Chains A and B, each alone.
Chain A
Amino acid sequence: MSVIEMSGLRKEFTVRVKAGRLRREKRTVTAVDGIDLRVERGEMLGYIGPNGAGKSTTLKMLTGVLMPSPGEARVCGLRPVAERTRLAMRIGVVFGQRSQLWWDLPLRDSFELLRHVYRVPAGEHGARLARCRGLLDLDEFLDTPVRQLSLGQRMRGELTAALLHGPEVLFLDEPTIGLDVVSKQAVRGFLAELGRAGDTTLVLTTHDLADIERLCHRLVVIDHGRVVHDGSIAALHSRYGSRRMVVAELDAALPRPPELPGAPLQRVEADGHRLVFALESATVAEVVAGLAGLATLRDIAIVEPDIEEVVARLYRMTAEAGGATVTGAP
């Protein structure tokens, strides 16, 4: 059985829009528009999409905060809203912008409180906390009130708080938002470690694609509430034609742009001293050999495809395909 199952999952919000001085019009906004997805135990799933694509709404439906309308979701075999408290025992949730910690109390106290909230035996709780303290370097601020923690420290605390009851699924909504580079790396390293153990399923939404590259083998891209890609990052690159580039620096500009089979010229820069080729069917060696016959090469660089660019292109494509989701109610 899959740990997470979504079938035909939808979410419609009714909003009232001003239509004239006093009149207000009811409009239905579809935030999630029919998502079918299965996530298996131990998977690390990156769930991305532009602002307003429906990422957080999906997570809220999976954690029992919001009710689907209509459609069905099962997490650990449970219906999230109807069996909310039972499900809560088996999942962990980190909302990057909201806190599970007690603002005015030392971090240590929040952990102890959550032990009572989740009814975790002291021994189990202590062992998990010890592990997190080691992996996330919590010791230096364990006795500091949460309100005095830096964002990075607080996020390390939030991660610990979400794991102390040993959840089977961990939902992370923007866990690296606003963090500095060092904190981001700490969080990513920790999640990678968690994923390596293999018994926790991880669902991560983010705007930082480096999170995904570092952590997730599977990437689901949603836009306008629909899944527009589901697969590995490599599959995303090959599907949307992102290619490796060869950047060649020449001693002197060529009189006319060279044509190399299987490697179309993309850009000419620096007054013709720099040429950028896309690798389609040609290999790097073939491009280099072809160029060497035409000019003196000063330098060669190979640029890996940029996931940001692919995803940006993907968003633009779905926008052009006309994902109109705002419909006036009758």
Chain B
Amino acid sequence: MAEPGTLTGPTRVVPPSGGGPEPAGRTPGVLGAYRALLGAQARSQAAYRASFLVDLFGNVGATVFDVVTVLVLFGVTRELGGFTLHETLVIVGLSSFAFAAADLLVGNIERLPRYVRTGLFDAVLVRPLAALPQLLLMDLPLRKVSRVVFGLGVLVASVGSAGIHWTAGRVALVVVAPLAGLVFFGSVFVTTATVSFYWIDSGELANSVTYGGRDFTSYPVTVYGGWFRALFAYGLGFAFVSYHPALALLGRADPLGLPGWVGWVAPGVALVAAAIAALAWRVGIRHYRSTGS
């Protein structure tokens, strides 16, 4: 029990003990901290290897179903809302990749009420890192990787077989649009999750927006009508995820009459959504701090 003081004191000089994988004295940075959290999550899930593998394959199911639904629909009709099978599959590809990637990276934030209840939220708040990235990385559902791979496959196959007249702009758009869709869906996940800061049982409402939005973006918006289309397509902005970028890629005019450049600026809508999500999170977390748990 000699010199117990070496336990603490930030200014104290202590001899390196060795044994660590890194050389003594090297200080990890913030990015290293996040990378470590991600690595821990991967190792935690590897602890349940068999169930992880089952989940990995089981998770593709829902995404495959989206594609199968479209194929079945085209078994009885040659056009859907004025779009051919190949054109519709471009929309499906953009939508399923964007949603699957956002669901992988951000989707688990819908478990926010659980984080609050189990105390993980408080534990995260006493650490020197931002709360949202910590929560996302500590509960990253890696088994959902299979959906992203499948979504990407659908996207690549659909744009490859849709007879797109490739220009430099379209090449850029086919890269940017799915990523913008990811950001858009991620923002929807975060924004709807913050509702639970005020109203713990808000899960169903959140689901109707996020999963409703995913279904909405899987078809040309022309198949929907009236106030429903107005609300989801332009009120909530889901038309900018897959429909308008697909029109620009395919070189088609919008049957609903919006100008052609809308498809090219559609990715910008994701930035607006991200800004709204960031604001909602900040306000929500402040509300948590003023109500406690």
Cβ-based interface call for B81 (8 A): no
Give chain A residues whose Cβ lies under 8 Å from the Cβ of B1.
135, 193
A64 surroundings in chain B (CB, below 8 A): 125-126
Instruction: Kindly provide the distance from the CB of A30 to the nearest chain B CB, expressed in whole angstroms.
Output: 12
Q: Which of A80-88, A175-183, A240-248, A273-281 contacts B (4 or more CB under 8 A)?
A: A80-88
Q: Which of A132-182 contact B (CB under 8 A)?
A: 132, 135, 145, 163, 165-168
Given the complex of chains A and B, what is the CA–CA distance between A199 and B5 in angstroms?
8
B257 interface residue (CB < 8 Å to A): no
Instruction: Indicate if the CB atoms of B44 and A104 lie closer than 8 Å.
Output: yes
Tell me whether A65 is interfacial, beta carbon within 8 Å. Answer: yes
Contact A196:B126 (CB < 8 A) given known A95-B119, A119-B29: no
A148 to chain B, nearest CB (A): 11
Contact of B16 among A85, A112, A116, A127 (CB under 8 A): A127
Partner of A85 from the list B28, B48, B128 (CB cut-off 8 Å) is: B128
Q: Is chain A's interface secondary structure helix, strand, loop, or mixed overall? A: mixed
A125 to B27, CA, bound (A): 10
Query: Is A306's beta carbon under 8 Å from chain B?
Result: no
Q: Which residue of B lies closest to A81 (CB)?
A: B289
Residues from chain A with Cβ under 8 Å of B7 in the complex: 128, 131-132, 135, 163, 166, 194, 197, 200
- Asked if B4 is at the interface (CB within 8 A of a chain A CB), the reply is yes
Please determine whether B292 and A57 come into contact, CB atoms closer than 8 angstroms: yes
9-residue interface stretch from B35-43, B166-174, B204-212: B35-43
CB of B27 within 8 A of CB of A127, answer no
Report chain A residues within 8 Å CB of B123: 95, 98-100
> What band does the interface of chain B fall in when counting residues whose beta carbon is under 8 Å from A?
35 or more
Q: Does chain A have a CB within 8 A of B33?
A: yes
Does B127 lie at the interface of the complex (its beta carbon under 8 Å from any beta carbon of A)?
Answer: yes
> Which listed residue, A14, A89, A90, A126, touches B18 by the CB 8 Å rule?
A126
* Contact residues of A between 83 and 110, Cβ < 8 Å to B: 84-86, 88-91, 93, 95, 97-100, 102-105, 109
Q: Is the CB of A199 within 8 A of B36?
A: no
Which of A65, A118, A135 has the most chain B CB within a 10 Å cutoff?
Answer: A65
Proximity string of chain B (1-33) to chain A, C-beta cutoff 8 Å, 1 when within and 0 when not: 100111111101011111110111111111011
Nearest CB on B from A102, distance (A) = 5
* Interface residues in B203-246 (C-beta closer than 8 Å to A): none
Measured CA separation A112–B199 after assembly (Å): 37
- Write the residues of chain B forming the contact surface with A, with a CB cutoff of 8 angstroms: 1, 4-10, 12, 14-20, 22-30, 32-33, 35-37, 40, 43-45, 47-48, 118-120, 122-123, 125-130, 286, 289-292
12 pairs across A/B with beta carbons < 8 Å?
A64-B125, A64-B126, A65-B126, A97-B119, A99-B119, A102-B44, A112-B36, A113-B36, A117-B33, A122-B22, A123-B15, A123-B16
Other than the given A13-B291, A66-B289, 20 more pairs (CB < 8 A) read A65-B126, A67-B289, A67-B290, A88-B126, A88-B128, A89-B128, A99-B119, A105-B47, A113-B40, A115-B28, A117-B37, A117-B128, A121-B25, A121-B27, A127-B14, A135-B4, A165-B10, A167-B8, A168-B8, A200-B7
